[in-house]
């Protein structure tokens, strides 16, 4: 679904209809809380600020099918949560999730080539070859921290609402390429943003290629983590200052070690 290798109808039936069915079933069973994770719900708009809080409006992406469905689904869930007897709704908004199981069942190549794609992704080794890389900002979170966030919401550590969750700091695609063993040749981000927007707007673009839209905005979907009001959330959820998950040139540490969760902002009243 994420990589666009399934049909649009199948992706929607699973992503949107399936999640709504799960919410309705939870309400019918008397479940008290429902926790859902959404990515890219802010879209990839040029006016998105670098460092968005939960108060920034949820806006569907212009082209990327997956981000469009995620934004739509958040709004549908919030409407459903207002019904009598509905569970309390918790919305988690993580960035790119890393970890030994983060690829999961995603197919990187279509159909009969899917198994080859999985083997190639599992066999990535350090390749000291030069490659051009644009200076795109990126955020990551460890898969175990996402799991911890689910647990904390399930036991109602904080009030219902939307929460941005992310590791500390921001790295660039250049940092990631360097950590993978490549020799990055830095490119300015501006021309790459323009090219990504132009290509993603092409008609009849394959769903997998629509992910280029994510590279078309300077701020992308970067969440804020500098404007958290003191005391806005229990101390146990504040970032561990010893964590090095977001330090520059350290993205693989997100994969090798668990990092403590950073919950950013308390939802607005």
- What digits encode the pLDDT tens for the residues 177-206? 888 778 999 998 888 888 888 888 888 777
Decide: helix, strand or coil at residue 56.
coil
User: Worst-scoring range by mean pLDDT, 69-73, 145-149, 243-247?
Assistant: 243-247
Confidence (pTM)? 0.75
Read off the pLDDT band of 109 (50, 70, 90).
low
- pLDDT at 261 (0 to 100): 44
- pLDDT at 26 (0 to 100): 97
Model confidence pLDDT, tens digit, residues 227-241: 333 333 333 333 333
- pLDDT at 267 (0 to 100): 42
Mean pLDDT computed over every residue of the chain? 76
Please tell me the CATH code under which domain 8-127+138-167+221-240+251-256 is placed: 3.40.50.720
Residue pair 102/94 in contact by the 8 Å Cβ criterion = no
What is d(CA 247, CA 30) in angstroms, rounded to the nearest whole number? 43
CA 170-172-178 angle, to 5 degrees, is: 125
Q: Where are the domains of the chain?
A: 8-127+138-167+221-240+251-256
């Amino acid at each position: 679904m994420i990589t666009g290798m399934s049909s649009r109808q199948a992706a929607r039936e699973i992503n949107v209809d399936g999640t709504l069915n799960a919410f309705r079933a939870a309400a019918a069973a008397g479940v008290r809380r429902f926790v859902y994770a959404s990515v890219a719900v802010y879209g990839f708009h040029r006016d998105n600020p670098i460092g968005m809080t939960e108060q920034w409006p949820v806006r569907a992406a212009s082209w990327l099918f997956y981000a469009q469905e995620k934004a739509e689904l958040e709004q549908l869930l919030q409407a459903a949560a207002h019904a009598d007897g509905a569970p309390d709704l918790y919305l988690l908004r993580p960035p790119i999730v890393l970890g030994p199981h983060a690829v999961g069942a995603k197919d990187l190549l279509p159909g009969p080539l899917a198994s080859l794609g999985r083997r190639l992704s599992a066999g990535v080794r350090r390749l000291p070859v030069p490659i051009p890389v644009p200076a795109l900002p990126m955020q990551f979170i460890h898969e175990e921290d996402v799991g911890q966030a689910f647990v904390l919401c399930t036991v109602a550590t904080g009030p219902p609402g939307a929460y941005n969750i992310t590791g500390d700091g921001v790295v660039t695609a250049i940092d990631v390429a360097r950590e993978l063993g490549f020799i990055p040749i830095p490119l300015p981000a501006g021309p790459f943003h323009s090219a990504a927007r132009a290509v993603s707007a092409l008609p009849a673009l394959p769903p997998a290629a629509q992910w280029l839209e994510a590279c078309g905005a300077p701020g992308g979907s970067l969440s804020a983590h500098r404007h958290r009001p003191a005391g806005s959330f229990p101390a146990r959820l504040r970032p561990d200052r010893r964590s090095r998950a977001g330090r520059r040139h350290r993205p693989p540490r997100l994969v090798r070690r668990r990092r403590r969760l950073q919950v950013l902002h308390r939802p607005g009243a």
